[in-house]
Amino acid sequence: MKKKVNIYKLPKVNSWDEFYANRSWPPVPKHEQDVLFKNEFLGKYPKGTSLLEVGCGDGKWSAILSSRFKVTAIDNSANAIKEALALCKVRKINNVEFLCGDALNAEGQYDIIFARGPSFLNFPSADVRFVSNFKKLLSLCTQEVIFNIASRTPFEVWKPSGLLTPLADVDSPNSQWYHHDPEILKTNLAKLGAAHISYEKHKARIYASVKV
Ligand SMILES: C[S@@+](CC[C@H](N)C(=O)[O-])C[C@H]1O[C@@H](n2cnc3c(N)ncnc32)[C@H](O)[C@@H]1O
């Protein structure tokens, strides 16, 4: 049986594969789901809209999204995809297409790109790589990129959270976690398209979207 974890108290692991081999994310928080399914984010899109979930992890969000959207889900951890396939099998969900690979090399066109806790948008942040990664996501969709990410004060500093430092972060070897400042994020996203940001301070969470 895998250990349940608190996101802020994860022991250090060296890769997402190692993470998924030993641990599980908690169930999808009901509150986050409610916010994301509001009209300002996912709720305005009709049933059957195509959606690519990037960094889908163990598929808990993919399973929920599949009740409304035509979901393709990608993660570059093979163990994450293994977990996601097993979860969908147990829940008898057979309309999600899972891909194992780098979301930043993904191809195709989808109406929506969705990401929850996309680590490649956290390491590091308000810099050139954030913008180029985000532009890549925008290039994959015809309507909107929608994402939801943890953030809390103090913003704009590296926080040693105990979470792994991914390979993408090799040029910032002492960094582990980055907290977006919602105001800076808003300014940066507005340069890329029509942006909308909602920051819930009490939940330490940012919900954001950019229309193509
Ligand atoms: C913080 S976890 C979030 C997982 C899931 N979205 C959730 O909310 O439970 C970040 C996920 O992004 C995946 N990931 C990181 N970089 C990636 C990349 N370049 N392409 C695809 N997936 C990536 C990791 O393997 C991990 O599953």
Tens digits of residue pLDDT in 58-99: 999 999 999 999 999 999 899 999 999 999 999 999 999 999
Pocket perturbation via mutation, ligand 1, pick of 13, 33, 56, 169 by most ligand atoms within 8 A of CB: 56
Can you tell me whether residue 44 is helix, strand or coil?
Answer: helix
Instruction: Check if 102 has its Cβ closer than 6 Å to any atom of ligand 1.
Output: yes
CATH number for 34 = 3.40.50.150
Q: What is the pLDDT of residue 131?
A: 83
Nearest CA to ligand 1 atom 1: 117
Say if CB 5 and CB 161 are below 8 A apart: no
Q: What is the pLDDT of residue 135?
A: 93
Instruction: Check if 119 has its Cβ closer than 6 Å to any atom of ligand 1.
Output: yes
Domain count, the chain: 1
Cα(92)–Cα(105) distance, rounded to whole angstroms?
A: 30
CA 57 from chain center: how many Å? Answer: 9
State the distance from the centre of ligand 1 to the C-alpha of 58, rounded, in angstroms: 9
Residues of the chain with pLDDT under 50: 6-11, 160-176
Q: The domain containing residue 9 runs over which residues?
A: 3-211
Nearest CA to ligand 1 atom 11: 55
- Write down the pTM of the prediction: 0.89
Instruction: Check if 104 has its Cβ closer than 6 Å to any atom of ligand 1.
Output: yes
Cα(95)–Cα(90) distance, rounded to whole angstroms?
A: 13
Two structure tokens written together for 122: 């956290």
Instruction: Check if 16 has its Cβ closer than 6 Å to any atom of ligand 1.
Output: yes
Cα(195)–Cα(201) distance, rounded to whole angstroms?
A: 19
Q: What is the pLDDT of residue 4?
A: 54
Q: What is the pLDDT of residue 169?
A: 41
Determine which helix (DSSP H) or strand (DSSP E) holds 149, and give its type and residue range.
strand 141-150
